[in-house]
């Protein structure tokens, strides 16, 4: 064993001290030589999952968990507090609260970062992206613990830049670890089981919370407080988790119309601001967003299926140069912006306007940034967005 490797046997929290023969232990092996601590877990006991669910003739899948922080890794001052908490737990501590998975998978984990997801900027997303790319060939599935505030954006980015049939499952929680009925341990447990499940392959990036399984490409956070927050109203969930079983509603498939983007080792996504439209919008905000920020594109959360006031549309028409992309997205959680919802001038559709389809503004922004990073012109950008 290398000098920098350590092996520990840590008792699980549900050990029966009176029955030393059935004592449950977990082997933790530190095998990382670099910046982060990474560990390999092999549970040494009978699993709480029925042994009948495992095929003894087949090797167990090896699942890598990447910890990034979020509410799931947070503590509050008391058990009745569900706001104003701080990230304080490592992925190792989170795993100590979930049941034994010895008949389901072999777990390895790494703390990539430990932050609130509101702090998840481009550099952090790139760090996570590179870690996933590095790990995919070595593991049968990846689980990512992530804060819920920006989880859908990170999931969409990963879906758009990593093309794999292996399951990549995001999970988090709406309550801190210290809260009564904290949802974190169950969400993490379910995500691991989902990533280990053979029928999870070929479904794209998944988000698993509150017994629901959704496509990361479409699902969005709908409530700032409720456990049942991640929803896809129009597209629906693709499955759920019931009584220790993964239940999918449809055969394995990824969302239609996705475009995969190749990223170089070093890249920096261009500036694309989002402007939230409303009654009485001050059009100078649009000028500030485009000119003041040296933006390469613009996303507008329109008031309906592409609706803006005639004054605002005319302002945009006169503001931007030919070829500058403006994505007409929507404020509403569900529905879409069709090409027919775009403004017309002199009987023709405003050439700079691009229909955002079903994507919400944050996801439309990421897709536009990836298009621009790839060097796509306005015509190619419209082709990409036509499929979403």
By annotation, the residues acting in catalysis are 71, 148
CB-based burial label for 180 (10 Å; 0-12, 13-18, 19+) = exposed
Burial of 99-113, coded b for 16+ CB within 10 Å and e otherwise, reads: bbbbbbbbbbbbbbb
Known binder of ligand: residue 149? yes
User: Any known ligand binding at 148?
Assistant: yes
* CA dihedral angle for residue 225, residue 90, residue 206, residue 178, rounded to 10 degrees: -30
**What is the C-alpha to C-alpha distance for residues 249 and 203, in angstroms, rounded to an integer?**
12
333 and 363 Cβ atoms separated by less than 8 Å: no
> How many whole angstroms separate alpha carbon 297 and alpha carbon 326?
6
Partners of 205 in beta bridges? 168
- Write down the H helix ranges in the chain: 91-95, 122-135, 151-161, 184-196, 284-287, 310-319, 361-373, 378-386
- Cα 244 versus chain centre, distance: 23
Q: Residue 332 annotated as binding?
A: no
DSSP secondary structure of 7-61 = EEEEE-TT--TT-GGG--EEEEEE---SSS-EEEEEEES--SS-GGGS-TTSPPP
Distance between CA 353 and CA 325 in Å, rounded?
6
Q: Which residues pair with 340 in a beta bridge?
A: none
Neighbours of 35 (CB within 10 A): 9
Tally Cβ neighbours within 10 Å of residue 194. 24
Entry field: residues in the chain: 388
Classify residue 243 by its DSSP letter. T
Binding residues for substrate, by number, are 117, 148-149
Binding residues, by number, are 117, 148-149
């Amino acid at each position: 064993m290398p000098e920098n490797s350590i092996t520990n046997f840590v008792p699980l929290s549900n050990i029966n001290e009176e029955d030393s023969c059935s004592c449950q232990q977990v082997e933790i092996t530190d095998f990382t030589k670099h910046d982060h601590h990474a560990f390999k877990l092999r549970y040494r006991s009978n699993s709480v999952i029925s042994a009948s669910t495992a095929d003894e003739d087949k090797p167990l899948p090896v699942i890598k968990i990447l910890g990034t922080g979020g509410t799931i890794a947070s503590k509050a001052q008391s058990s009745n507090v569900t706001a104003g908490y701080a990230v304080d737990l490592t992925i190792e501590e989170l795993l100590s609260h979930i049941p034994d998975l010895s008949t389901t998978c072999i777990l390895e984990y790494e703390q990539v970062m430990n932050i609130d997801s509101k702090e998840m900027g481009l550099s952090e997303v790139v760090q996570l992206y590179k870690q996933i790319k590095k790990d995919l060939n070595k593991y049968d599935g990846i689980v990512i613990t992530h804060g819920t505030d920006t989880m859908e954006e990170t999931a969409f980015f990963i879906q758009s830049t990593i093309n794999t049939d292996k399951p990549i499952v995001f999970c988090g929680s709406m309550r801190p670890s210290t809260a009564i009925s904290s949802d974190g341990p169950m969400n993490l447990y379910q995500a691991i089981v989902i990533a280990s499940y053979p029928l999870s392959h070929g479904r794209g990036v998944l988000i698993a919370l509150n017994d629901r399984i959704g496509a990361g490409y479409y699902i969005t956070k709908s409530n700032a407080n409720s456990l049942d927050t991640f929803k896809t109203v129009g597209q629906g969930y693709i499955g759920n988790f019931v009584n220790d079983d993964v239940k999918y509603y449809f055969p394995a498939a990824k969302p239609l119309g996705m475009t995969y983007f190749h990223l170089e080792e070093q890249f920096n996504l261009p500036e694309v601001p989002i402007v939230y439209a409303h009654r009485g919008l001050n059009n100078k905000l649009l000028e500030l967003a485009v000119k003041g920020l040296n933006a390469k594109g613009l996303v507008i959360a329109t008031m309906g299926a592409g609706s803006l006031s005639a004054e605002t549309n005319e302002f945009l028409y006169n503001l931007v140069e030919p070829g500058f992309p403006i994505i007409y997205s929507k404020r509403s959680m569900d529905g879409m912006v069709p090409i027919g919802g775009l403004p017309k001038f002199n009987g023709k559709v405003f050439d700079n306007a691009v229909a955002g389809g079903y994507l919400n503004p944050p996801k439309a922004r990421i897709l536009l940034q990836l298009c621009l990073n790839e060097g796509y012109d306005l015509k190619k950008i419209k082709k990409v967005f036509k499929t979403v």
